[in-house]
A and B are shown apart, each in its own frame.
Chain A
Amino acid sequence: MTHSLHRMGSAENLDQEIIFVLTPSRGINSEGAEGKIKKFLDIIVSNGPVHYGDDRVGNQYTAGYDKIVENLEGITNIHAVFNDFEKAKKVFREIVEADLGLSVVVSGLFDRARGCCEAAGVQYHSVEHSLGIWGNRKLLPDERTLEVLTMCGHGLVSANLIRAMADDVRDKRKSAQEAAEELARHCLCGIFNTERAALLLKELA
């Protein structure tokens, strides 16, 4: 599942966002990987991500660090979102120095994602691009809503909830951050960028 690939937004809006995904591979390096996964998680959390989570346990809002650590298994995906390219480069250097031996995806604008690898002295292995959305595009919500909706690759954040949260922000029932966190609860794996969503919700409100 390509959680972060089809994120939509302007180059300016996506410029600082970097997502990391740690994925042990079943039958290759997942056995006994729990300690390495915890090390990855600790590097992430110590650097103050915008959001993080384990797609089997939950995200920072629904589970939190302790519950994620208690339930770590060798087969999982750990996700983390950063909104600061310089910080993301530092984080990835720490990940590489930790020498975990588990696969890590760096996702973002191509030059930024490659820049993280270069800063850590790593020659990237493979790349996945999106060729966009095809088919009956009349079924899609408006572009701004879509920018928020595509932050959850599993499609668990509904367009109607995004509109409802934008209404709550407009009518001052919620702050933009509170509304973004309400949306983030449903993106189980923690890949939803609450800071970027808050900015977009203000525009939608």
Chain B
Amino acid sequence: MIIETEICTACESCVPYCPVEAISVKDDHAEIDQDICVECGVCYRASVCPVDAITEPELTWPRTLRSLFSNPITVFEETGVAGRGTDEVKTNDVTGRYRRGEVGFGIEMGRPGTGTTFRQVQQMTIALAKIGVQFERKNPLTTLISDVKTGSIREDILDERVLTAIIEFKVPIERVGEVLETLRKKEKALDTVFSVDYISRPGLDGGLPAVEQAKRLGYEPSRHVKICAGVGRPKID
């Protein structure tokens, strides 16, 4: 996003709207720090500028990635899904992405509210690749990993900054501990936050073996959940 400094009156109306604090007022105008801006479009859509000084420029590669991973109305062409991940658990009843005995992970880098660079994301993808994780093929981020065996991300995008990038993969329940230990080790080195999604299916007895596994390992899955109700068709059991 850009503020046309000749028009801007430095009224500061737009400043609090930016989710990543990229807008500041200098002397007689506000400006957007282009390194920090994630192209989410909030300041533009907010329509709070009294003189319409905020503009949404045509983006070029690799800056286009900022919009793709930060502005939810930007669509990832390959899956047709708007936003930064797959439909994960939402359509699991018809995609069968996660089966019994498996756990799906979503490592939501930069969430909530801090944002992340792909360089920070790469710190995590490299750590996960070392333990043999296979990244979800249909996730937009996976298409930017130049070597899925090492977890390396394309060099030309590493300094791009986005609101969130989701690393998606699944593992057998027995490997949950290995994944969580890797996340635990890596979090100390990161100057951002990440939220962890944990997806599973109930057992045939109605129990939740993956949740029990997490608890045995000393983790406390949230009380707040998303349930795929299983009303989609054709249903995959």
Interfacial residues, chain A to chain B (CB-CB below 8 A): 1-2, 4-7, 9, 11, 14, 21, 23, 25-26, 28-29, 55-56, 62, 75, 77, 92, 95-96, 100-110, 113-114, 116-117, 122-137, 139-141, 146, 149-150, 154-161, 163-164, 185-186, 188-189
A26 to B86, CA, bound (A): 11
Assembly CA distance A5 to B111 (angstroms): 12
- Cβ-defined contact, B93 with A125, below 8 A: yes
Q: Which of A77, A95, A124, A129 has the most CB of B within 10 A?
A: A129
Whether B92 sits at the interface, judged by CB under 8 Å, is yes
Which chain A residues border B192 with CB–CB below 8 Å? 135-136, 139
- Which partner residue on chain A sits nearest B190 by CB separation? A135
Beta-carbon nearest neighbor of B85 in chain A: A1
* Closest residue of B by beta carbon distance from A111: B223
Q: Once the chains bind, are A126 and B199 in contact (CB under 8 Å)? A: yes
- Contact of A126 with B194 in the complex, beta carbons under 8 Å: no
* A25:B87 contact, CB within 8 angstroms: yes
Contact status A158-B16, CB under 8 Å = yes
Chain A residue contacts of B193, Cβ below 8 A: 133-137, 139-140
- B residues near A (Cβ < 8 Å) are 15-21, 40, 42, 45-46, 72-73, 79-85, 87-95, 98, 104, 106, 108, 110-115, 163-164, 166, 180, 183-184, 187, 190-202, 208, 211, 214, 219-235
The answer to whether residues A29 and B42 also contact, given A127-B199, A154-B72 and a CB cut-off of 8 A, is no
Q: Does B226 contact A107, Cβ atoms closer than 8 Å?
A: yes
Would you give 17 A-B contacts (Cβ < 8 Å), ordered by A? A1-B166, A7-B224, A21-B226, A28-B94, A101-B231, A117-B230, A124-B228, A126-B92, A126-B202, A127-B200, A129-B199, A129-B200, A131-B219, A132-B195, A133-B195, A155-B113, A158-B16
Q: Which chain B residue has the least Cβ–Cβ distance from A62? A: B45
Contact across chains for B232 and A102 when beta carbons are under 8 A apart: yes
* Cβ distance B126 to chain A, nearest Cβ, rounded Å: 16
Q: Cβ of A158 and Cβ of B42 under 8 Å apart? A: yes
Q: How far is the CA of A159 from the CA of B83 in the complex (A)?
A: 21
CB distance from B128 to the nearest CB of A (A): 14
Write the nearest CB–CB distance from B24 to chain A, whole angstroms.
12
Complex A-B, nearest 5 residue pairs according to Cβ-Cβ distance, in ascending order = A125-B230, A103-B232, A129-B221, A131-B196, A130-B222
Q: Report the bound CA distance from A185 to B47 in whole Å.
A: 11
- Contact status A105-B89, CB under 8 Å: yes
- Cα–Cα distance between A2 and B59 once the two chains are bound (Å): 26
**Interface-centre pick from A127, A149, A157 (highest chain B CB count, 10 A):** A127
A131 to chain B, nearest CB (A): 4
Complex-state Cα separation, A149 to B73, whole angstroms: 19
List of A residues within 8 angstroms of B232 by Cβ: 25, 28-29, 101-104
Q: Is the CB of B83 within 8 A of A154?
A: yes
Residues of A near B208 (CB, < 8 A) are 127
Report the bound CA distance from A161 to B14 in whole Å.
Answer: 10
CB distance from A161 to the nearest CB of B (A): 5
Contact B89 A127 (CB under 8 A): yes
